[in-house]
Amino acid sequence: MRRLEIVHRTRYDYSAPVTLGEHRLMFRPRDSHDLRLLHTGLAIEPAAQVRWIHDPFGNSIAIAAFDGPTRALELTSTIQLEHFGLPPELPPIEEYARKLPFAYLAEEAPDLTRYVERHYPDPNAMLSSWTKQFLDGEEGGADTFATLTRMCKSIQETLKYTMRFEPGTQPPATTLESGAGTCRDYALLMMEGARAFGLAARFITGYLYDPALDVAAGGTASPAFAHAWIEVYLPGAGWVEFDPTNGIIGSERLIRVAVGRDPEQAMPIKGTFTGAANVAINTMVDVQVKTLVPAAEATEVPSQAAAPQEPITQS
C-alpha cells in the first residue's frame, strides 16, 4: 500500500475576456478495496459556485458556475489517498469465460449490455479484421486473457504515440489508418476491439505515475500524468485494467478516477465559454505526486543510538 498526494493543476489563459459556462470536473476518485480516499481539495480561480452530484456510473462530479468575464481559469485539485497494489496474479477467470467466444451469465448480461455494444462505425470492417490477428487459433477457442494481452501489447508496440491537443477522441478507424494517437485514442481502440469479441469494456481516466520516482517523505514531488486506459469485465476476475499506451495490465502505476461507457463520459474537465470568435487559448497542465508518510511513522522519534540515515537518491 502506498499513501500518495496528487496535485493536478490546469490553467487556461484567454487572449480576450470570456464568459465561462458551467464546467463539469471529475477529479475525485471513488473509495474501493484498492483505493481509499483520505482528503480532497478543489481550488478554482475565478471564484465559482460549486455543487456535487453522482453521474449514472457513480462518478463524483463537481459542477462549477461562474459570474462575470475573465481572462483566465485555473483549477487545482489536491487528493490524498491510499493506493493498494494489485496481486501479481490475476484472480481466476470462471471456467466458461476462459475461451472466446463466451456469453455472460443471465444475471450479469442486462447490466453489461451497453458495455458490450460497439459505439463507433467500422468502415470496411477495418476494426473487425484488425482484431482477428490476436486470436491464437487454438482448438476450442482462443484464451480470453491471452488474447486481450496480445492486443494491449500490440497497440503499444506497433502504433506511434503522438501528442494531440484537440478536444475529443478520434474514432478507432482513424487511429488504425494513421497508425498513431494519444492515450485516449489507444484506449478507445482497444475498448472497441474488446467489444468486437463480445466483451464488456469501459473507458477509464485517472493518473499514471512511476513508483520508482517516489522520493522520501517530505521531499519534492515527482511528475505524474493525466491518463486514459480501459477495463474489461472478465467473470471471476471482475473489471481488469489494460493500458495499451504502455502495454501493461493491472498495474499499481494506474490510479483510477472516473469510468464511463464512452470517453466523453469520463473527461476530467468539460465546459464551455462565450467570447470573441478569434479568442486564443493557452493551456497548461501539471500533475505532481509524492509519497506521504503514515502518521505513526511521521511522529516517531529515532533513538540517540540510531545510526545516521543514508541519503536517498532518485534513480
How do residues 157-189 score in pLDDT, each as one tens digit? 999 999 877 778 999 999 999 999 999 999 999
What percentage of the chain has pLDDT greater than the value 70?
Answer: 88
Check which CATH number belongs to the domain holding 61 and give it. Answer: 2.60.40.2250
Q: Do residues 257 and 285 share a domain?
A: no
d(CA 183, CA 203): 11
pLDDT band, residue 276 (cuts 50/70/90)? very high
Reported residue count of the chain is 315
Look at residue 214 in the predicted model and tell me its pLDDT. Answer: 65
Nearest-angstrom CA–CA distance, 281 and 15? 6
In 3-state terms the chain splits into helix, strand, coil percentages (rounded to 5) of 20, 40, 40
**Would you call 156 helix, strand, or coil by DSSP?**
helix
User: How do residues 37-48 score in pLDDT, each as one tens digit?
Assistant: 999 999 999 999
pLDDT confidence band for 292 (50 / 70 / 90):
confident
Q: Which residue has the cell 455472460?
A: 104
Q: How much is the pLDDT for 294?
A: 63
CATH of the domain at 259: 3.10.620.30
Residue 305 has pLDDT above 60, yes or no: no
Residue 310 domain-assigned (yes or no): no
> What is the C-alpha separation between 65 and 48, in angstroms, rounded?
5
Looking at residue 15, its pLDDT comes to 97
Rounded Cα distance between 220 and 222, Å, is: 7
Q: Are 219 and 158 in the same domain?
A: yes
Mean pLDDT value across the chain: 89
Mean pLDDT of 50-63: 97
Residue 247 in domain: yes
Q: Residues 152, 289: one domain?
A: no
3-state secondary structure of 93: coil
Contact assessment for residue 161 and residue 250, using Cβ atoms and an 8 Å cutoff: no
Are 139 and 153 in a shared domain?
yes
pLDDT (tens digit per residue) in 202-244: 999 999 988 777 654 455 667 888 999 999 999 999 999 999 9
Does 229 lie in the same domain as 107?
yes
Q: Is 300 part of a structural domain of the chain?
A: no
Q: Where are the alpha helices (DSSP H) in the chain?
A: 109-116, 126-131, 144-158, 172-178, 183-196, 295-298
Looking at 60-74, 135-149, 209-223, which range is the least confident one? 209-223
Given a cut of 70, whether residue 88 has pLDDT beyond it is no
Res 108: pLDDT: 97
Q: How confident is the model at residue 109 (pLDDT cuts 50, 70, 90)?
A: very high
Average pLDDT over residues 28-35: 91
Position 314 in a domain: no
Total of domains in the chain? 2
Whether the pLDDT of residue 25 is over 60: the answer is yes
Q: What is the pLDDT of residue 168?
A: 83
Q: How far apart are CA 208 and CA 6, in angstroms?
A: 11
pLDDT at 308: 36
Domain holding 260, by residue range, is 95-264
pLDDT at 179: 96
pTM to 2 decimal places:
0.88
pLDDT at 248 over 80: yes
Whether residue 99 lies inside any domain: the answer is yes
